[in-house]
Structure 1
Amino acid sequence: MNRSFLFLLGSARQGGNTETLARAAAEQLPAGAEQRWLDLTRLPLADFTDARHSGGAWPEPGEPEAGNEALLRDATLAATDIVLVTPLYWYSVSSSTKAYLDHWTKWLYVPGLDFRARMAGRTLWGVTAMGDRAEALAQPLELMLGNTAAYMKMRYGGVLLGNGSGPGQVLDDTRALARAKTFFARQAPLARSTGE
């Protein structure tokens, strides 16, 4: 089965360091691997409302921004590999990336969608650039993505970390660019929760 990569751009800056690093890694993918790039900042989602225990209903399709949600949901389910391309913001993912992940909760409860079962076995990856060289500062982001993958019974490929704050600075991070060459070549293991 050919792999299909969904790259979800979550930066508030177009063409920033995180996207540059992700594109460097994507250049190494085999020719048969499909790539789809979607910009979460250009596909805004309605604020997530958790209606699981309130007796209320989830927002109905057709409401504002429901088209973006359907597009992102369908693209997610069509991919074998989901790559969250998000700068490190306050030690975690960007707000648009978090909004996207919040909607996974809704998709878990859509009758007949079987979102969790369909996501099992797929691979979750992260790519991030950060302004600090202390990679330990990215641990909260890595734990969040790893635990998300474990809950969904997905594989977890880890996070490709790069350093860069100003435009194009990540291209000076030779270590990150070297890691980018083999990042997607690894066989990602099934994720395990840090609580296990």
Structure 2
Amino acid sequence: MGVVVLYGSSRRHGNSDKLADLLVEGLDADRIYLSDYNLQPITDYRHTEPGEYPEDDYHKLIDLVLEQDTIVFTTPIYWYGVSGVMKTFIDRWSQSLREDRPHFISKMSTKKAYVIAVGDDEPHLKGLPLIQQFQYIFDFTGTQFDGHIIGKGNEPESILEDAAALARVGELRKKIAPSA
């Protein structure tokens, strides 16, 4: 079973990254730092003549994601939602739907997904709409939403003080890699 981690932070090794790293520690996981790639915003052609989509790294990224069985979406909670780069990546799924909807949906419907979100302003309450957003996204694509972690952290490595988030990492590790 292949695992891909999509890191949505604009800063490497932050608290959300730390939780994701703990989740996949020792596993053979592809690690994709979305901020390292050129991802342009989606151009909406739903009600106009189809045009050209941006020439960027989207196809490379989505191909890497579709090769794996498990996707871990990792994002800091920015202004009570996902990071901009994570949102841009997911928005671009509209392009995949337009280009080859049956293929994209059939591939996504075979995946298991997990979400890790870390914030500082009451994240266990105020991060719930972010989790619900992912639930709707996964419902639309037929992706199995297998679990999430909401952690509290702001200062570097302060997530390591969130005992509940760390315990949840252990629970989800058993689901992702039962023999690990």
TM-score using structure 2 length: 0.90
Relative to 1, partners in 2 of residues 1:28 and 1:135: Cα closer, same or farther, differing over 3 Å? farther
Is residue 141 of structure 2 the alignment partner of residue 152 of structure 1?
yes
State the shift of 1:19 in Å: 0.4
Conservation of the 8 A alpha-carbon contact between 1:28 and 1:182: no
What pairs up with 1:106-145 in 2 under 5 angstroms? 106-111=95-100, 114-145=103-134
Conservation of the 8 A alpha-carbon contact between 1:17 and 1:167: yes
Match 2:74 to one of 74, 82, 85:
85
Residues in 2 aligned to 1:43 and 1:126: alpha-carbon distance in whole angstroms? 20
State the shift of 1:52 in Å: 2.4
Bigger share in helix: 2
What pairs up with 1:37-116 in 2 under 5 angstroms? 37-59=31-53, 63=55, 65=56, 68-111=57-100, 114-116=103-105
Residues in 2 aligned to 1:112 and 1:94: alpha-carbon distance in whole angstroms? 25
Q: Which residue of 1 aligns with 2:25?
A: 27
Conservation of the 8 A alpha-carbon contact between 1:50 and 1:58: no
Aligned-partner SS, 2:154: coil
Relative to 1, partners in 2 of residues 1:107 and 1:182: Cα closer, same or farther, differing over 3 Å? same
Residues in 2 aligned to 1:158 and 1:170: alpha-carbon distance in whole angstroms? 18
State the shift of 1:28 in Å: 6.7
**128-137 vs 105-114, which deviates more?**
105-114
State the shift of 1:134 in Å: 4.7
Aligned-partner SS, 1:84: strand
Q: Which residue of 2 aligns with 1:192?
A: none
Indicate the percent of aligned positions where both proteins have the same amino acid.
27
**121-130 vs 99-108, which deviates more?**
121-130
Q: How many residue pairs align between the two structures?
A: 176
Aligned-partner SS, 2:114: strand
Q: Deviations over 1:132-163 (max 9, x none)?
A: 34511111111110111111111002321111
Q: Which residue of 2 aligns with 1:4?
A: 2
RMSD: 1.8
Q: Deviations over 1:98-138 (max 9, x none)?
A: 00000111101114871011111311211111113451111
Relative to 1, partners in 2 of residues 1:89 and 1:157: Cα closer, same or farther, differing over 3 Å? same
Relative to 1, partners in 2 of residues 1:155 and 1:55: Cα closer, same or farther, differing over 3 Å? same
Structure 2 residues without counterparts, runs of 5 or longer: none
Residues in 2 aligned to 1:112 and 1:162: alpha-carbon distance in whole angstroms? 34
Structure 1 residues without counterparts, runs of 5 or longer: 188-196
Give 2:52's aligned amino acid. W
Residues in 1 aligned to 2:127 and 2:133: alpha-carbon distance in whole angstroms? 10
Q: Which residue of 2 aligns with 1:171?
A: 160
Conservation of the 8 A alpha-carbon contact between 2:123 and 2:150: no
TM-score using structure 1 length: 0.83
Residues in 2 aligned to 1:134 and 1:111: alpha-carbon distance in whole angstroms? 37
